Amino acid sequence: MNRKRLLTRRRTLLLGMGAFTVAGGLRHLNNQFPEIVYEGKDAIGKKNFTVVGDIPLRERAASKGLIYGAASSYRALASNTDYATSFAKECAILVPEAQLKWDALRPSPNRFDFTRADWMAKFARTHGMLFRGHTLVWHKALPKWFAGTVNKRNAERILLEHIKTVVGHYAGKIHSWDVVNEAVFPEDGRSDGLRNSPWLQFLGAGYLDIAFRAAAEADPRALLVYNDFGLNYQYEEPKRAAVLKLLERLKSRGSPVQALGIQAHLWCDNSSKFNPKTLKKFLREIANMDLKILITELDVSDKNLPLDVSIRDRIVAAIYEDYLSAVLEEPAVIAVLTWGLSDRYTWLNETDSRKRLDRSLVRPLPLDTNLKRKLAWNAIARAFDQAPKRHSEQVKSE
Ligand code: XIL
């Protein structure tokens, strides 16, 4: 490659105090990478991510009164015993990635199929893990029959039947339920910030109250969570404000919402920065409403980062550590779940892959495709080791 071409391919990463230049070695199929600036709190080149000992994440979290776990598909756990072993070693809580969604549980309007979800619940129990439910009300993952069957007249009955059956099925055996997922979407232009979802169209804004009340009735022991994305970065202030308002409204109407789930699908580009102060203020406001907080779907997309794996892994790890060290300062945060455990099984290979760039696999999770711990694992371990200890009564467990 001649010098001119090399220079045009040069990318500068300004990281914290110093500038870290990524040059050579970048062999992207095309020239699509902007200059990425990651202003982590430590200069990336200097950060060492050292971890003392090889204690698994679940134990490091538990020693601080925190719960660590991850999402998994049924297929990965049932087909790969090495993965299942790593999962049981690192995780204290399991959430099915798909198997408790409507389209997985409801092959037809009158039939529920719990086969795979039950297998996962048993896997969790056998390995001393908590089990978490995701999700009872969502505008996505609806079965094919939904659109032609559900309407204004029958929506309440069908929703209540769903919640009673599914929550009742796992009553007493579930740590927490994402009762409603992604109901806030200011972009839809409503004054209450709610998403114009099928549930809203059928039942109005009261569908959230209906769902939380039904879930509480079917399992008074599960922690009832409102779960959403888009709550971390500076520019996401309208979403934070709308979620706060929604939770206030629910609480003022006596709906039994008990926690906020923050998805935390993070990434790295120049416009997506989180400000620890803003974030902590938001978490405090949630906590002041007497709500717990769970980080429910943490992962860090490396799609915008250079091909060089060692650089990518360091930036991903720095984002994990910066994010977790900020949010774990808030005592109301009781649990951290990553959305997957190993890069071998990450949804980002479906939705946010590098296929059109350099065809390399994405590396957003704590373990690599061979189940080896990466710097992201170290970063999470360090954040747990440095987190303030929770008082045990704050952590809901069975
Ligand atoms: C994703 C799964 O990981 C994918 O495998 C599936 O194809 C689509 O759904 N927010 C959520 C999760 O609440 O349910 C989504 O899970 C990821 C985004």
For residues 145 and 39, what is the distance between their CA atoms, to the nearest angstrom? 48
Beta bridge partners of 14: 19, 37
For residues 273 and 296, what is the distance between their CA atoms, to the nearest angstrom? 20
- What's the burial of 190, exposed, middle or buried (CB within 10 Å: 0-12/13-18/19+)? middle
- What's the burial of 257, exposed, middle or buried (CB within 10 Å: 0-12/13-18/19+)? buried
Ligand 1 interacting residues, C-beta cut-off 6 A: 97-98, 181, 263, 297, 347, 350
pLDDT at 43: 65
- Model confidence at 63, pLDDT cuts 50, 70, 90, reads very high
Q: Superfamily assignment of 53-386 in CATH?
A: Glycosidases (3.20.20.80)
Provide the 3-class DSSP secondary structure of residue 202. Answer: helix
Q: How far is the CA of 150 from the centre of ligand 1 (A)?
A: 23
Average pLDDT, the chain: 90
Q: How many helices and strands in the chain, by DSSP H and E? A: 15, 12
- Report the nearest-CA residue for atom 15 of ligand 1: 97
pLDDT at 269: 85
pLDDT at 274: 86
Provide the 3-class DSSP secondary structure of residue 168. Answer: helix
Q: Mean pLDDT across the stretch 20-45? A: 52
Q: How far is the CA of 92 from the centre of ligand 1 (A)?
A: 21
In terms of pLDDT, which residue wins out, 43 or 10? 43
Q: Mean pLDDT across the stretch 109-137? A: 98
pLDDT at 211: 99
Q: How far is the CA of 133 from the centre of ligand 1 (A)?
A: 13
Q: Which atom of ligand 1 is nearest to the CA of 229?
A: 10
pLDDT at 10: 36
Query: Where in the sequence numbering do the catalytic residues fall?
Result: 182, 297
**Distance (Å) of CA 192 to CA 96, 138, 224:** 31, 18, 22
Q: Which atom of ligand 1 is nearest to the CA of 340?
A: 3
158-167 pLDDT tens trace: 999 999 999 9
pTM for the full predicted model? 0.92
Q: Which atom of ligand 1 is nearest to the CA of 296?
A: 13
359: left (phi over 0), alpha (psi -120 to 50) or beta: left
Q: Which residues contact 156 (CB under 8 A, 6 or more apart)?
A: 202, 203, 210
Instruction: For ligand 1, pick from 100, 176, 339 the residue to mutate: most ligand atoms within 8 Å of CB.
Output: 339
Q: 64 pLDDT exceeds 80?
A: yes
